Structure 1
Amino acid sequence: NTKEKGGLSMNNVSLIGRLVSDPELKYVNDDRALCKFCLAVSRDYRNKDGVIPTDFINIDIWGRKAEVLCQYASKGSLIAVEGSLRIDKYVNKDGQNRTKAIINADSFHFLGHKHRD
């Protein structure tokens, strides 16, 4: 919890899912590791067609944890992620204001091996 003007607030996210593709590692300002990946997270119900909907969630993790995740995770890896929600604002190529939801991961845990093709 964070004490703010006007009261308390909380921004906690916990997810379990599979990596949609291999994670990407880059270094910001030449020294800070940033790992970006997308997690496919299934919902806990079936829709009217009997299909379990899946959300595709963009996640950033920083520092040594980013390097470890990128070294050992790959497309299909099952992981748990804990962090907070961040909404980035940007202007697209058509000049329209847009927002993008990203999870800033604080921690992750490997939960299993990827599916075999």
Structure 2
Amino acid sequence: MINQVILVGRLTRDPELKHTSDGRAYTNVTIAVTRQFRNANGELDTDFVQCILWRKTAENTALYCRKGSVIGVTGRIQTRSYENQEKKRVYVTEVMAEHVQFLSRKTTENRAPQSPEVEVMPIEPVPF
């Protein structure tokens, strides 16, 4: 059987790093993925996909990404269910991320320092 998902989209909010009781880092993120076709009204719809990132992937995403960052996620679909306060069964489908690629530029606001900007020097014409 194959259970493989590849998504590219924007984070809907800043990732918040959390830890399990035994110290493993994780974060839950939602990725907005625009569909590649238009609906009956001629508009592009967007899907909001829940993803769970673990360990170093979660730490790096929380450190270097923020709301609006474009990321690529490779992972697998997982479903689970739980009983809510009204005693109704709630089903959840989410992506368990196995690999995350940062596809937008790094930000400096409340994040790790970036390397200094590279200054581009103009090239002087060489006489022939």
With structure 1 as the length reference, what TM-score do the two structures score? 0.86
Partner of 1:50: 42
Unaligned segments of structure 2, at least 5 residues: 107-128
The residue that corresponds to 1:82 in the other structure is 74
Question: What SS class does the counterpart of residue 103 from structure 2 fall into?
Answer: strand
C-alpha RMSD of the superposition: 1.2
- Matching residue's letter, 2:91: T
Structure 1 unaligned regions, length at least 5: 1-8
Tell me the CA shift for residue 30 of structure 1: 4.0
Q: C-alpha displacement at 1:104, in angstroms?
A: 0.3
Counterpart residue number, 1:65: 57
Verify: 1:18 aligned to 2:4, yes or no: no
Q: Which residue identity lines up with residue 96 of structure 2 in the other structure?
A: N
Q: Which has the larger radius of gyration?
A: 2
Cα distance in structure 2, aligned partners of 1:63 and 1:110: 16
Name which of 97, 104, 107 aligns with 1:105: 97
More strand by share: 1
SS of equivalent to 1:112: coil
Asked if residue 31 in structure 1 is aligned to residue 23 in structure 2, the reply is: yes
Supply the distance in 2 between the matched residues of 1:95 and 1:62 (Cα, whole angstroms): 30
* Residues 90-117 of structure 1: per-residue CA shift (max 9 Å, x gap): 1122111110111000011111249xxx
Q: What is the count of residue pairs matched by the alignment?
A: 106
4+ residue stretches of structure 1 with deviation over 2 A?
Answer: none
Question: What TM-score results when the alignment is normalised by the length of structure 2?
Answer: 0.79
